[in-house]
Amino acid sequence: MPHRDSHDVIVVGAGASGLATATALHAAGLDTLCLEARDRVGGRLLSVPTSRPGRALDLGATWFWDGEQRVRDLAERSGTGIFDQHLAGDTVFQDAGGIRRLPGNLIDAPARRFADGAQSLSFVLAASLPSDALRLSTPVTEIRAAARGGLAVRTPTGPVRAEHVVLALPPALAVAHIDFGDALPDDLVRLARSTPVWMGAVVKVVARYRSAFWRQAGLAGAGISRVGPLQELHDMSGPDGDPAALFGFAPAQALRPNLPRAVTEQLTLLFGQAAASPEALHVQDWSQERWTSPPHRHRLQDFGLFGHALYQRPALDGRLHWASTETAAEHAGHIEGALAAAERAATAVLSAAAAPAMNPNR
């Protein structure tokens, strides 16, 4: 069946914020199309399955925290098990002088995890959309005022038109990859170009083991290193330690061809010989992800721009809305922020839709 070329709303991006926006608008009866550049949903929610069914390891977001009710509600809806981050044990500290064991877990705050992996949140949202409301591998390249009213959205598979467009991707990425002509006000372009992408310049490394041997040694799996390559480490095992895993963050600059070997050597120094032979080692470099990180990512440092007032109101005559976590007025950076931004964008579209008749040209 050929694609329709006109919709009430187009949502750009099928991460947590885009999918939450699209599902809310679809549930409210608006004809909503979600366009996603990647061949998968989830964006910065990315989980790899393990051999144990229902247990996945997160290469993107991992935790949610008390007070993040939207995430908890969505997790409960998705059916993923929710469990507590492992906290018990001592911390390892590494600097040029060597390695020390510090009493207690000095870096992990109490937090919750998703047994099926954080990406399962995006799967449940996507599943509630009709199949023709979500197009994967469809990057948006241009947004302009449409000749017949509304906004014209260009993709490699052709143009589509909508009354409203929701940008559910990091603002810096939107202005780097989408051509708006000169339609956006200068202050908005400057703001978007300067807004950092949360965790957009980070490498996450996950090492899976046969067992959580560090726990038996009284270690929490938590660590800080001043020498790297991993600088901050955590236990990332599943419920009851299955699958057993450690993860760490490295700055993107630490990435080099021999990173897996350097990481394994570091883990062995920190946690003992048992760490020398991970069953699997996943290296996820978010800085090299074209659909997460803009080319000028290393210059973006001003996190005070998150949730800026300009993101709270629509642009282009009330037709262009912002919805990524970076635009959230609360919990910006977190999954909770993505869901809060989605709520705001969906509310704005719905109140505009309640005014005049929508999409009279369809």
Question: Which residues make up the interface to ligand FAD (CB under 6 A)?
Answer: 12-18, 35-38, 43-45, 60-64, 139-140, 168-170, 173, 177-178, 198-199, 202, 204, 286, 291-292, 324-325, 333-335, 337-338
Q: Minimum distance from CB of 283 to ligand FAD (Å)?
A: 12
For residues 63 and 271, which CB has a smaller minimum distance to ligand FAD in the complex?
A: 63
Dihedral sign (CA 248, 253, 255, 258): negative
For residues 64 and 123, which CB has a smaller minimum distance to ligand FAD in the complex?
A: 64
Q: Minimum distance from CB of 65 to ligand FAD (Å)?
A: 8
d(CA 46, CA 362): 36
Residues 34 and 22 sit within 8 Å (Cβ to Cβ):
yes
Query: Going along 173-330, which residue ranges are E strands?
Result: 202-209, 219-225, 232-235, 244-251, 280-285, 320-322
Q: Minimum distance from CB of 61 to ligand FAD (Å)?
A: 3
Q: How far is C-alpha 169 from the chain's CA centre?
A: 9
For residues 44 and 164, which CB has a smaller minimum distance to ligand FAD in the complex?
A: 44
For residues 199 and 269, which CB has a smaller minimum distance to ligand FAD in the complex?
A: 199
Q: Minimum distance from CB of 273 to ligand FAD (Å)?
A: 28
Q: Minimum distance from CB of 342 to ligand FAD (Å)?
A: 8
Dig out the tokens for 235 from the structure. 């236990």
For residue 15, what is the DSSP state? B
Q: Minimum distance from CB of 138 to ligand FAD (Å)?
A: 7
For residue 4, what is the DSSP state? P
Q: Minimum distance from CB of 179 to ligand FAD (Å)?
A: 10
Residues 337 and 324 sit within 8 Å (Cβ to Cβ):
no
For residues 6 and 62, which CB has a smaller minimum distance to ligand FAD in the complex?
A: 62
For residues 99 and 232, which CB has a smaller minimum distance to ligand FAD in the complex?
A: 232
d(CA 84, CA 289): 30
Omega before residue 110 within 30° of 0, cis: no
d(CA 231, CA 223): 8
SS3 (DSSP) at 83? strand
d(CA 356, CA 362): 14
Q: Minimum distance from CB of 357 to ligand FAD (Å)?
A: 28
Q: Which of 168, 125, 163 is nearest to 23 (CA)?
A: 125
For residues 16 and 33, which CB has a smaller minimum distance to ligand FAD in the complex?
A: 16
Query: Going along 36-167, which residue ranges are E strands?
Result: 47-49, 56-58, 63-64, 82-84, 90-95, 98-102, 112-114, 134-135, 142-145, 151-155, 158-167
For residues 159 and 272, which CB has a smaller minimum distance to ligand FAD in the complex?
A: 159
Q: Minimum distance from CB of 95 to ligand FAD (Å)?
A: 24
Residues 297 and 287 sit within 8 Å (Cβ to Cβ):
yes
For residues 65 and 213, which CB has a smaller minimum distance to ligand FAD in the complex?
A: 65
Q: What are phi and psi of 111, to 5 degrees?
A: -150, 165
